[in-house]
Structure 1
Amino acid sequence: MSTSSAASAIALMPHQQQMHDFLVNHPFAGAWLDIGAGKCLTTLAVLQTVRPMGHILVVAPVAIARSTWIDEIEKWGFPIRTKSLIVDENDRKLSKTKRLERFREIATDPPTMYFINQELLTQPSQEAKLLTPVPGAVPAPTISPEATAVLGLLQAQGPLGRDGLVDKYRALVAGYGKNAGPAKAKVRAWIQELVKSALVAWEAYACRSCAGKGCVQCRFGLIDQLPVQKINGQDTIIWPFQTVIIDESQGFKSHDSRRFLALASVRPAVTRLIELTGTPSPNGLQDLWSQVYLLDQGQTLGQNITAYRNRWFTPKMVPGTTTPAKWIPTANAEAEIHQAISHLVMSAQNTSLQLPALSIRDVNVTLPPDLLRAYKDFKRDLVLDIVQTYIGDDGTLTQSVESIIAENQAVLTSKLMQFASGTLYTADADDPATKGRYQVIHDKKIEVAEYLVRNNGGEPVLIAYHFRSDKEQLLRRLGKADIDVQAFDGSRDMVRRWNDKQIPVMLLHPAAAGHGLNLQHGGSTMIWYTLPFSLEHYLQTNGRLFRTGQTKPVTIYRLIAKGTQDERMPSVLAGKQQVQDDLIKAVSGDFNAERALLAALEEEIREDLNDLWASERV
């Protein structure tokens, strides 16, 4: 928790000032600023202007909620009391117990700005793990008498958690006149003895209070834990945050996600809501309904997703079924939707934003002919035979042929991405012991990545990876080559060390760290090891370096394995970006044009009044 006391003088850029004025005058509004254009700073300036009452809640991807806002508040000295609901004062992840304690403190805290990641707004009902006697199991003579007594208590009481069983056993023994009973550590040791002897086992049970429907006993998100009161006969969540800021609002683009439904349920209690994003419609226009609903509760785009789809989309069915595979915008949908939301969202064109040059270079990676044939055969037949090498029980080197099967098109797409990048997951879905297992197919991409790192003039390099196997192979290969490479862990300390140029190569996963982080001071070179299908992930990750404050030309390399799925990814991303660019342009605030229009209208009004006055005089 921290409290800043004196805000530094802030001179907003023209596009930021336009956005500031729009947000000040619209209590429920979306701000679509380009990545790195200062959404956080602009919003803090808005808060300084409107000075909202009560608590403020910032909901964001974990990296942003964990560091970006705190860093900006400290940098500019905003007089805001802050508290994280994710990490402690030393940037260590809060335990569930400590997090729930902070949730409870909200009711008595003075006005505070809280930070929480999207996933912790609400959580599914958690099953309880309880110790359960194994039916028919009989204690062996080697089992201690005390462990046998604990087993007897458990058989009499029924399934219990470990702490509950410890407390009940100690209370039982104390009831026999033996003071407070045995130490808790001793009882836990006896319980462990029973577990190892297969006399008791851990079993999952639905919540006893709600049978899994969801309650404060089994759901541990922020909204789940808030108090509920009867208001007009309805159970109503007591919502303590009058002001809500959603950073990267595209995280709420799914109309049936838990996070959207939870926030929609408390939306009537919010008096100011600000949505921020640089990528409002990454997967197309269908991403907008839920984001806009949180602003106006359905007044603009319809009360539900069905009304939205029926008005502006037509379904494209899965062949042979009545199930929509995707929703296609009608001919007039784009223009009509842009017009419909123009009073709720604004995108200031960053004509005054000075950024260095950006160079995006596709680097071809050539696979050997035999590998390329295997890739094409796999794509055609959905089956790939690979040779597994392992050490047998007798210590000898053994080889076997294993078939990798893509069960459907989605699985095939993922497998082809893996193949192009150099590894292929080989886990057996029916064998948990094989989880995460993969086979190295080739090292051609990693060779090119190493070459680019070595020829970057000693400057730091970000490498964006997709699969865990990519990360592990990069760490192994570059480390073996005496290159200091580290995988980003989400901490503020690692952000600081990167920006101080203390990390020569940092591996970054777009989903975990592609949003909001200010990494522009640490380097200006990025390598896309595997391009994503998500436009959001692509643009946001590029924006870690290509953003305000970057002083050097930015170079982004995209590794493209020739003859593979990699080759179509640039055009896929370009098509998605065109849809989004059109959307942002459509809601851009052209203040000069607006002022000219207002002046013309005022002149017309004056003329009408003059005509009216003249006719009355006559």
Structure 2
Amino acid sequence: MIYKPHHYQAYATQWIIEKHKSALFLEMGMGKSVATLTAILELMYDYFDVAKVLVIAPLRVASTTWEEEVEKWDHLKHLRITKVLGSEKQRVAALHKKADIFIINRENVTWLVDWCQSDWPFDMVVIDELSSFKSSKAQRFKSLKKVRPFIKRLVGLTGTPAPNGLIDLWPQIYLLDGGERLGKTVTGYREKYFLPDKRNQMIVYTWKLKEGAEDSIHEKLSDICVSMKAKDYLELPERMDNVIPIELPKKAKEQYDQLEKELILSIEEADVLAGSAAVLANKLLQVANGAVYDEDGEVKHIHEEKLKALDELIEAVNGKPVLVFYGYQHDKDRLLHHLKKLNPKLLQSDQDIKAWNKGEVQVLLAHPASAGHGLNLQTGGSTIVWFGLTWSLELYQQANARLWRQGQKQTVVIHHIVAKDTIDERVMKALEDKDTSQAALIEAVKARMNKYKEVTPHG
């Protein structure tokens, strides 16, 4: 296929070529991979500036997306790719191959750094999904930091550089410039641009920007980061969002209310930490979906209302393919059993993706975390059903972008099955407001706490 870049893709390619360290904050579906590969091709064979390139990516993207892009475009066909995936033996064999681009999943970055030791061979590194290096405490960050001095060119790619706010930016930018723009330490960065927000005595859980800090950070990064939003450049298909409210049966609602009350009253107000709030939210989301794990890890079935609503949705689309997102293992098991007559497929392999895109699958089940970055599913269907909601805005947006992206020919309809008077409604509102921060979760728990404290007499 002949590559005719959009003007913003040509700009992105030139940006990479001209800068030894750069970041492309391009939203989903804007063709980050081909723009980057075009830059690699030119740097390697026109400028003779790089010899060996390492691409670090999420596992599924590492195993499919980059190779598919090279195969798809005529001008890239001379690039030799090897995938450093699989067992240690397979990874070592891949590293010994003659290739231009070596692709590894991010979980194996530490292994690679340890294996190469001081003999780091890659003069250019591309981090596909730079936001997965947003924690300076993570081993993958520490490992890459170790070999950063040996890397001549570094490119970071992501559509969501700061999924939880600008506090996440420091580690990502540090890998690019060694602390030149945002400071040498995360503590220094926080002190310069942020004020403590939510805290419990000495422990600070959230930070808020100082006045003018956002503009100041953007200004600091403007020479190495280019940010582009899909809606400004792409003809995205129409999208319709639909909420399907369901009523829990009386007994199930009583169980839900009882569980919520027990969990909330077991938390002291001063101790509403992100961890305890997340545990509480997880339990309640499970019950809203229809089942929950008990203390022994056994699945306890509570209701089938969401399964019934899903049946109606599948019937209404009249044989058209449906992509269903689930939240928990027991959701997946119940869905597979309930829909067995339709022969549902789990999104697990490249074969599943191909079968879906060929129109051979009527119902595809996926966990949002496994259908994230880089998967193209838009040719297989245009209907999404959220059987269980996620508190992660990043996962939610990435998952929807599998179908709602450039190349989609149909209007994309996104259904959300929401249990009335449950945590589902609060999660749905948080997703609509684009506020799924830990602070919002803690506030949601505190709001419920106040309700129960008001009606519970103090003994």
Question: TM-score range with shorter-chain normalisation?
Answer: 0.7 to 0.9
Q: Which residue number corresponds to residue 485 of structure 1?
A: 344
The alignment status of 1:291 with 2:290, answered yes or no, reads: no
Pairing partner for 2:30 from 25, 29, 37: 37
* Counterpart residue type for residue 225 of structure 1: W
Q: Which residue number corresponds to residue 540 of structure 1?
A: 398
* Counterpart residue type for residue 23 of structure 1: I
Q: Which residue number corresponds to residue 363 of structure 2?
A: 505
Q: In 2, are the aligned partners of 1:15 and 1:349 still within 8 Å (CA)? A: no
Q: Which has the larger Rg?
A: 1
CA apart distance, 1:577: 6.7
Q: Which residue number corresponds to residue 216 of structure 1?
A: none
C-alpha distance 532-578 of structure 1, shift in aligned 2 (>3 A): closer
Q: Which residue number corresponds to residue 252 of structure 1?
A: 133
Q: Which residue number corresponds to residue 219 of structure 2?
A: 339
Task: Output the aligned Cα RMSD.
Answer: 2.0
The alignment status of 1:417 with 2:285, answered yes or no, reads: yes
CA apart distance, 1:15: 2.1
CA apart distance, 1:539: 0.9
CA apart distance, 1:261: 1.0
CA apart distance, 1:349: 4.5
Pairing partner for 1:76 from 70, 73, 77: 73
C-alpha distance 547-408 of structure 1, shift in aligned 2 (>3 A): closer
Q: In 1, are the aligned partners of 2:379 and 2:408 still within 8 Å (CA)? A: yes
* Counterpart residue type for residue 96 of structure 1: E
Q: Any idea what the Cα deviations from partners look like across 1:84-125, whole Å, max 9, x if unmatched?
A: 112xxxxxxx2333334434x2xxx43421111111112xxx
- CA distance in structure 1 between the partners assigned to 2:420 and 2:351 by the alignment: 39
Residue 137 of structure 2: SS of its match in structure 1? coil
C-alpha distance 578-35 of structure 1, shift in aligned 2 (>3 A): farther
CA apart distance, 1:578: 11
Q: In 2, are the aligned partners of 1:284 and 1:576 still within 8 Å (CA)? A: no
Q: Which residue number corresponds to residue 47 of structure 1?
A: 40
1:164-179 maps to which residues of 2 (within 5 A)?
none
C-alpha distance 31-507 of structure 1, shift in aligned 2 (>3 A): same
- CA distance in structure 2 between the partners assigned to 1:240 and 1:547 by the alignment: 36
Q: In 2, are the aligned partners of 1:18 and 1:348 still within 8 Å (CA)? A: no
Residue 40 of structure 2: SS of its match in structure 1? helix
CA apart distance, 1:21: 2.3
Q: Which residue number corresponds to residue 114 of structure 2?
A: 224
* Counterpart residue type for residue 83 of structure 1: T
Q: In 2, are the aligned partners of 1:286 and 1:327 still within 8 Å (CA)? A: yes
Q: In 1, are the aligned partners of 2:389 and 2:424 still within 8 Å (CA)? A: yes
CA apart distance, 1:352: 3.9
Q: Which residue number corresponds to residue 248 of structure 2?
A: 367
CA apart distance, 1:563: 0.5
Q: In 2, are the aligned partners of 1:283 and 1:534 still within 8 Å (CA)? A: no
Q: Any idea what the Cα deviations from partners look like across 1:435-454, whole Å, max 9, x if unmatched?
A: 4x211111111111122122
CA apart distance, 1:504: 1.0
The alignment status of 1:114 with 2:111, answered yes or no, reads: no
The alignment status of 1:571 with 2:399, answered yes or no, reads: no
The alignment status of 1:96 with 2:88, answered yes or no, reads: yes
Q: In 1, are the aligned partners of 2:371 and 2:402 still within 8 Å (CA)? A: no
C-alpha distance 467-243 of structure 1, shift in aligned 2 (>3 A): same
Q: Which residue number corresponds to residue 453 of structure 2?
A: none
CA apart distance, 1:47: 1.7
Q: In 2, are the aligned partners of 1:20 and 1:45 still within 8 Å (CA)? A: yes
Q: Which residue number corresponds to residue 58 of structure 2?
A: 61
Large movers: runs of 4+ above 4 Å: none
The alignment status of 1:18 with 2:20, answered yes or no, reads: no
- CA distance in structure 2 between the partners assigned to 1:98 and 1:527 by the alignment: 38
Pairing partner for 1:494 from 346, 352, 356: 352
Q: Any idea what the Cα deviations from partners look like across 1:5-48, whole Å, max 9, x if unmatched?
A: xxx53111122222222222222111111211111111112222
Q: In 2, are the aligned partners of 1:418 and 1:424 still within 8 Å (CA)? A: yes
Q: In 2, are the aligned partners of 1:292 and 1:298 still within 8 Å (CA)? A: yes
Q: In 1, are the aligned partners of 2:41 and 2:79 still within 8 Å (CA)? A: no
- CA distance in structure 2 between the partners assigned to 1:67 and 1:539 by the alignment: 21
Q: Which residue number corresponds to residue 301 of structure 1?
A: 182
Q: Which residue number corresponds to residue 453 of structure 1?
A: 314
Residue 54 of structure 2: SS of its match in structure 1? strand
C-alpha distance 453-484 of structure 1, shift in aligned 2 (>3 A): same
- CA distance in structure 2 between the partners assigned to 1:69 and 1:556 by the alignment: 28
1:125-136 maps to which residues of 2 (within 5 A)?
none
Q: Please identify which structure carries the higher helix content.
A: 2
- CA distance in structure 1 between the partners assigned to 2:353 and 2:383 by the alignment: 16
1:314-333 maps to which residues of 2 (within 5 A)?
314-316=195-197, 318-319=199-200, 321-333=201-213
Residue 309 of structure 1: SS of its match in structure 2? helix
Residue 347 of structure 1: SS of its match in structure 2? strand
CA apart distance, 1:463: 0.8
Which TM-score applies when normalising by structure 1?
A: 0.65
The alignment status of 1:558 with 2:400, answered yes or no, reads: no
CA apart distance, 1:383: 8.4
Residue 306 of structure 2: SS of its match in structure 1? helix
- CA distance in structure 2 between the partners assigned to 1:450 and 1:262 by the alignment: 48
- CA distance in structure 2 between the partners assigned to 1:332 and 1:550 by the alignment: 39
The alignment status of 1:264 with 2:132, answered yes or no, reads: no
- CA distance in structure 2 between the partners assigned to 1:526 and 1:251 by the alignment: 25
Q: Which residue number corresponds to residue 140 of structure 1?
A: none
Aligned-residue sequence identity (percent) comes to 36
* Counterpart residue type for residue 553 of structure 1: T
Q: Any idea what the Cα deviations from partners look like across 1:415-474, whole Å, max 9, x if unmatched?
A: 01111111101143xxxxxx4x21111111111112212221311111111111111110
Residue 560 of structure 1: SS of its match in structure 2? strand
Q: Any idea what the Cα deviations from partners look like across 1:189-209, whole Å, max 9, x if unmatched?
A: xxxxxxxxxxxxxxxxxxxxx
- CA distance in structure 2 between the partners assigned to 1:421 and 1:441 by the alignment: 9
- CA distance in structure 1 between the partners assigned to 2:429 and 2:20 by the alignment: 38
Q: In 1, are the aligned partners of 2:181 and 2:220 still within 8 Å (CA)? A: yes
CA apart distance, 1:380: 1.9
Q: Which residue number corresponds to residue 325 of structure 2?
A: 464
* Counterpart residue type for residue 313 of structure 1: F
Q: In 2, are the aligned partners of 1:55 and 1:241 still within 8 Å (CA)? A: yes
Residue 537 of structure 1: SS of its match in structure 2? helix
The alignment status of 1:313 with 2:194, answered yes or no, reads: yes
- CA distance in structure 2 between the partners assigned to 1:378 and 1:352 by the alignment: 47
Which TM-score applies when normalising by structure 2?
A: 0.87
Q: In 2, are the aligned partners of 1:85 and 1:114 still within 8 Å (CA)? A: yes
C-alpha distance 577-515 of structure 1, shift in aligned 2 (>3 A): farther
Q: In 2, are the aligned partners of 1:420 and 1:561 still within 8 Å (CA)? A: yes
Q: In 2, are the aligned partners of 1:31 and 1:276 still within 8 Å (CA)? A: yes
CA apart distance, 1:520: 0.7
Q: In 2, are the aligned partners of 1:81 and 1:111 still within 8 Å (CA)? A: yes
More divergent stretch after superposition (296-305 vs 370-379): 370-379
* Counterpart residue type for residue 193 of structure 2: W
Task: Name structure 2 gaps, 5 residues minimum.
Answer: 266-274, 438-459
Aligned length: 421
Residue 506 of structure 1: SS of its match in structure 2? strand
- CA distance in structure 1 between the partners assigned to 2:264 and 2:435 by the alignment: 34
Task: Name structure 1 gaps, 5 residues minimum.
Answer: 1-7, 87-93, 123-220, 229-236, 385-406, 429-434, 580-618
Q: Any idea what the Cα deviations from partners look like across 1:507-564, whole Å, max 9, x if unmatched?
A: 1112122111111111111111122111211111111111121111111111111111
